[in-house]
Chain A
Amino acid sequence: MSAHVTELLSLAAAGALDAQEQAQVAAHLGECEACAGEAAAWRRVAAGLGQLSAARPSRAVVARTVEAVEALLAERAERAWNRAALGFLVAFAWTLALLSWVVIDLVAGGLALRLDRPVGEAAAWYAAYLVAGWLAAGVAAAFVGRRAQQEGRIA
């Protein structure tokens, strides 16, 4: 008779043996009543473990979970949209600023020539206008950001 395989029987019932071990167990069980009895006991335990509980998450827990995940996904989508919108606005503002520089330069240059005024003065006014515009936009953005942060904290 081959050597007892008691040590392998629990894992055999758990379906956790490799092919060689399985063959070893199968060969031995055919010729050993004691090990065959133990193997049957382990199979019953394994079946019992599989049917131990029919517990399921309650509908309320599932609903709460779905709601929380949906809120997270919505927040994530909103953040992505905000980032894209902000990127577009910055690019748009820069394009506008650079284009307006050319236009204003042409107009101011033409006017300066007609009025016989120095061109540098128009450029200085334009630069001041740009700086003031960006400063105002920066302050507004900081206010809006701070308010959004506070609202998020309260929510």
Chain B
Amino acid sequence: MDPDRDDAARLRRSDTDGLAGLMQRHQDRLFRYLLRLTGDEAMAEDVFQQTWLQVAERISRYDAARPFAPWLFRVARNLALDQLRRIRPERLDEADEPVAPAGTGDDPFARAVALERSSRLLDAVGMLAPLDREVLSLRFEAELELKQLAQTLGVPVPTAKARLYRALARLRERLLTRAPAGEWR
């Protein structure tokens, strides 16, 4: 049996044990996703709380034949994007353009990555547009499969795949930009 479905059924009956089970399994990755998408801890905490409230309120709309995680992340996504649009309506798909690449070589990307430290990776991810950060977080931090990722984004699987590809390509640009030129040679 799927524990998420059991707990969702409990929550539908207003049983708080259902909520406890769902939160225990999903709260950490949900919070990381919100942190990555919003880039702001206070906003992530606020949306985190709103998300679970909305889950409790709308649990009767959850289709138990489908996995719970994409539905949960979709609820969180809608709330987070609403907040982000209020603050910066034009910037969800935009990031600062990278400066010129720091150097060239036979395989600069491989060298940049080899030298990469997690803080640099974090910085590079932080420079991406919110919607690029989002798709990377859903795939790598929340560990959603491509199909679940598509369900969360509310798009067909090929579109989700294209967004993932685009986010990774932009991350590559940022990593190349941030690798110190001297370390490349």
- Contact surface of A with B, Cβ cutoff 8 Å: 10-11, 14-16, 34, 37-38, 40-42, 44-46, 48-53, 55-58, 61-62, 64-66, 68-70, 72-73, 76-77
Contact = CB atoms under 8 A, between A and B. Distances in A.
A121 to B, nearest CB: 54
B72 interface: no
B169 interface: yes
Interface of B: 14, 16, 19-20, 23, 27-28, 31-32, 35-36, 45, 48-49, 52-53, 56-57, 107, 109-110, 112-114, 116, 118, 121-122, 125, 136, 139-141, 143, 145-146, 161, 164-165, 168-169, 171-172, 175
B contact patch SS: helix
28 contacts: A10-B172, A11-B164, A14-B140, A14-B164, A14-B168, A16-B139, A41-B107, A41-B112, A41-B113, A42-B113, A45-B116, A45-B168, A45-B175, A49-B121, A49-B125, A50-B141, A52-B121, A53-B122, A56-B32, A57-B48, A61-B45, A68-B49, A68-B52, A69-B53, A70-B16, A72-B53, A72-B57, A73-B56
Contacts of A57: 27-28, 31, 45, 48
Nearest to B16: A70
A76 B60 CA distance: 13
Contacts of B112: 41
Nearest to A44: B113
A50 to B, nearest CB: 5
Q: Which are the 10 A-B pairs with shortest beta-carbon distances?
A: A49-B140, A41-B113, A10-B168, A41-B110, A57-B31, A65-B49, A73-B14, A37-B110, A48-B121, A69-B56
A61 B14 contact: no
B141 A56 contact: no
